[in-house]
Structure 1
Amino acid sequence: MRVLVVTNDLPPRVGGIQYYVDQLGRGLVSAGDEVVLLGSSSEGADAFDRTAPYEVVRERTPVLLPSPTVARHATRLVEAVGADVVLFGAAFPLGILAGPIAERTGVPSLGFTHGLEVSATRMPGGSAMLRAIGNRLAAVTYVSHWCEEHLRGAFGPVPDHHLLPPAVEPGEFHGAVSGDAVRDRHGIGSAPLVVCVSRLVERKGQDTLIDCLPRWRREVPGTKLMIVGDGPHRGSLQRRAADRGVSEHVVFTGQVPGPELPQHYAAADVFAMPCRERHRGREVEAFGIVFIQAQAVGVPVVAGGIGGVPDAVRDGETGLLVDGTDPDAVADAVGSLLSDPDRSSAMGRLGAQWCAREFSWHARTRELRGILAGLDGPATGPAGTQSFDSAPV
């Protein structure tokens, strides 16, 4: 199968969507498919592109927009590589290009969704845009049941609808991974440790973890907090730790290379990210790949129970879902696991078994290939084959 991927979301940019698109692209190549990515430019792209297992063609712009120029370039690539299918790394907004591509080549398109599209339904004109995109796609995938529940109606009856959650690489994330080297590097030793891996943005809830740390240290002496990642709120989080008198007990690692992530998860006694909705639901967690990464290495999790997160955690079995806006609930949940190592270990073991069984990229790639093979053709009808110039973009 020959696949053209059109996306703004690919490495070396860091994020869950970029990781998702890259892993499925690699999986398709490993399965014997030919994959070409049409993407936007970013710093460090040349180094990534030289080692990627698929061919990358980048436009000289930091953001691909659904413009006539991008439509023409994508169409030419479809013809040049003999693509059997076009895959949009994010259906919104680039999926609108499925119409002109299908009209000129007859090749069907599939669009991934990641949660941003739910936010679009709450913006003026967003629902109409999603319906226009749905009318042009042959299939849409969703990372969680929550996403499907909120988007199936928005995309309408034309495309096929499929669940395609994120996954982990079992050769990297597994129960035998050791976090000892990470603990030694940061002087943690054998102290109880809560870890959060995420971009440092307000909705992820690292501020709540800092607020809870004094209580945890009273109840479970010596407890420390490790915040892995970087982002615009790093400075404010560091100031918050100073204000709470816990600076010396909070480790900010900054951005960690991908190959080192499993060891950072494994260093934890508890993984916690009390995510919460912001801006009236325009910012929400559509799945939470960090939760399955933590569970895969055998660490129990405490998660903000919003959006699609319940798909990523078996509440009461592999972790605990809490209200991320309630600091007392977060403190209670994490504290209960820190103070009961036997319960934490049992949850961790079950989480590792569950993730090994349900969340592998190999299985997810197999599911994607089945979806792609089942695409009969482009969306039909006037809306499905409308030319770009008349499309409502």
Structure 2
Amino acid sequence: MGKNRGEGFRRLGDAVESRGNVVAGQPSSGVFSRLSAGSLAALGLARRLAAALFSPRSTVDFLVLLFRNAYETALRCERPSPAEGWRLRLDHAALSRRIQRGLSEALLDKPAPRYSVRRRQPILPRRPRLLHIIPNVFVGGSTQLVVDLHDHLGHAYDMEVLTAAVPAGGPHEGMRIHRVGLDEPTDRLQPIIAAARPDLVHVHYWGSTDDCWYQPAFEAALSLGVPVIQNVNTPIAPHGDARIAATVCVSGYVRQTFAADLPNAAVIHPGIDPAWFAYAQKPSADAADTVLVVYRLDRDKLDDDALDPAIEAVRLRPRTRFVIVGEGPLLPVLIERVRSSGVRENFDFRGAVPYRELPGIYAGARVFLAPVARESFGQVVPFAMAMGLAVVGNRVGALPEILGSSDTLGASAAETASIMARLLDNDDVLERWGKLNRERAASFGLPAMIGAYETLYARMIAPAPEHLSA
């Protein structure tokens, strides 16, 4: 998780947050659990305001950064006609919304986006118990997998989740969650895992700075003697323990690069629901010159020079526009890099947008740029493929595997930019790639992913443990 200069201010008053076990959204016992939601909100606001008064420099820094990012992401890149150049127009309504949202999140703990679990089938009378272990359940690809498994296999498996962090607005609807924070004693993990009495444990692993939490969680789960599965969701080596029953890699690239010596490793690609992106594209003159980028602007996948291929593409083809969707610590870095290159007028930074608006944004482009430096899978690319966009990017990680080809991937910023410029000037080639990508995106469908996990789960718990059959 990235941090920026406003981190401290946004977290002022977090001491009012109860710690420890959280089940079905209810905090554990303690003084704060006896306060009403309104009292907690008022207390949190008072603490934040007090901290702001006693830390004026931090507060000013936060407000400056907030306004700067709000201003930059409210500049719309438009043109009077296809024959004219792009110009930046300040969207005053968008500026106001972004400032209000930033202040609301900082002072009032405005709820972060959350998922809602919706089981697709009636619950079976006998269900094995399954415990998911994941360091955070923030909105993202790993949490999406946990939600998909709840939705489509929750009728057959009684699922719970153990995590270290939930969204600011609380746990996801319909998901039973236990929480042991990264700043809490890790010996609290073992009794929670044991009390869950799981027949199967599914750990969603990405290592990194969360290994201090993963290690005791793995040990507690493995000590139960039940099968433990680990999902390797990022380009990183799996957790090394011979007792782990199965390792799932999200791509062949991750399997071959980081788990080639594991006999129990398999590949299950994340699944996308193409119905979300079955969007009828409307003819648009602007779309013919528009390239889309949709990523969390953080250094887990991107580097500071991520938009260099885009900058070079504008120099090769000045009528090209780039729409950048996403927020993160790299946002001001990328904006400054674009501005210093003299091509700010060709870049429309949208910031974070609601998920429901993405299909319309995808439909406003003909090409998707994947400027990643590291990639284990990345669902935004299959989304673009399902929408019939051509995909251009760096020849790294799992991108060739996702696309089924390296023909539109470059080994340098200059090569990637050249590929983009050529595609945008050739409608026939764009149409061909759009058709091929739609067909290939179907292979990353949600039913195939759910079926693979259903088979894996069934294999792991057969024969049933004694306490299940008792």
Q: For this structure pair, what is the TM-score category when the shorter chain's length is used for normalisation?
A: 0.7 to 0.9
Q: Measure the CA separation in 1 of the matches of 2:282 and 2:135.
A: 33
Q: Is the 8 A contact 1:228 1:254 kept in 2?
A: yes
Q: Measure the CA separation in 1 of the matches of 2:151 and 2:183.
A: 22
SS at match of 1:19: helix
Q: Is the 8 A contact 2:288 2:366 kept in 1?
A: no
Q: Measure the CA separation in 1 of the matches of 2:461 and 2:359.
A: 40
2:230 maps to which of 74, 90, 111 = 111
CA shift, 1:312, in A, is: 0.8
Map 1:88-103 → 2, pairs under 5 A: 88-90=203-205, 92=207, 93=211, 94=214, 97-103=217-223
SS at match of 1:367: helix
- Which residue of the partner structure matches residue 26 of structure 1? 151
Q: Measure the CA separation in 1 of the matches of 2:314 and 2:350.
A: 20
Q: Deviations over 1:294-322 (max 9, x none)?
A: 10111110121212222211226xx6122
Distance change >3 Å, CA 5–CA 267, structure 1 → 2: same
Map 1:65-214 → 2, pairs under 5 A: 67-77=186-196, 79=197, 83-90=198-205, 92=207, 93=211, 94=214, 97-104=217-224, 106-118=225-237, 130-131=239-240, 133=241, 135-153=242-260, 156-157=262-263, 160-174=264-278, 176-178=279-281, 189-190=286-287, 192-201=289-298, 203-204=301-302, 206-214=306-314
Distance change >3 Å, CA 9–CA 363, structure 1 → 2: farther
CA shift, 1:190, in A, is: 4.8
Q: Measure the CA separation in 2 of the matches of 1:138 and 1:364.
A: 19
CA shift, 1:346, in A, is: 1.4
1:321 maps to which of 409, 430, 439 = 409
Q: Measure the CA separation in 1 of the matches of 2:184 and 2:454.
A: 25
1:340 maps to which of 416, 419, 426 = 426
Q: Measure the CA separation in 2 of the matches of 1:36 and 1:252.
A: 38
Q: Measure the CA separation in 2 of the matches of 1:64 and 1:349.
A: 51
Q: How many residues end up aligned between the 2 structures? A: 328
Q: Is the 8 A contact 1:6 1:89 kept in 2?
A: yes
CA shift, 1:17, in A, is: 2.7
Q: Is the 8 A contact 2:230 2:247 kept in 1?
A: yes
SS at match of 2:404: coil
Q: Measure the CA separation in 2 of the matches of 1:75 and 1:260.
A: 42
Q: Is 1:305 aligned with 2:395? A: yes
CA shift, 1:224, in A, is: 0.6
Q: Is the 8 A contact 2:235 2:375 kept in 1?
A: no
What is the TM-score of this pair, normalised by structure 1?
Answer: 0.75
1:354 maps to which of 424, 440, 446 = 440
SS at match of 1:271: strand
Structure number with the bigger relative contact order (C-alpha 8 A, sep ≥ 6) is 1
Q: Measure the CA separation in 2 of the matches of 1:210 and 1:241.
A: 9
Letter paired with 1:85: L
Map 1:270-289 → 2, pairs under 5 A: 270-276=367-373, 284-289=374-379
Greater C-alpha radius of gyration: 2
SS at match of 1:312: helix
Q: Measure the CA separation in 1 of the matches of 2:165 and 2:341.
A: 41
Q: Is the 8 A contact 1:289 1:312 kept in 2?
A: no
Q: Measure the CA separation in 1 of the matches of 2:183 and 2:403.
A: 33
CA shift, 1:86, in A, is: 0.8
Q: Measure the CA separation in 2 of the matches of 1:328 and 1:359.
A: 30
- Which residue of the partner structure matches residue 134 of structure 2? 7
Q: Measure the CA separation in 2 of the matches of 1:9 and 1:361.
A: 23
Give RMSD over aligned pairs.
Answer: 2.7
Distance change >3 Å, CA 287–CA 142, structure 1 → 2: same
Q: Deviations over 1:189-229 (max 9, x none)?
A: 455101111122355353214422432434xxx32111110
Q: Measure the CA separation in 2 of the matches of 1:346 and 1:6.
A: 42
Letter paired with 1:109: V
CA shift, 1:153, in A, is: 4.7
Distance change >3 Å, CA 138–CA 64, structure 1 → 2: farther
SS at match of 2:160: strand
CA shift, 1:95, in A, is: 6.5
Give unmatched runs, 5+ long, in structure 1.
121-129, 277-283, 379-393
SS at match of 1:230: coil
Q: Measure the CA separation in 2 of the matches of 1:95 and 1:19.
A: 23
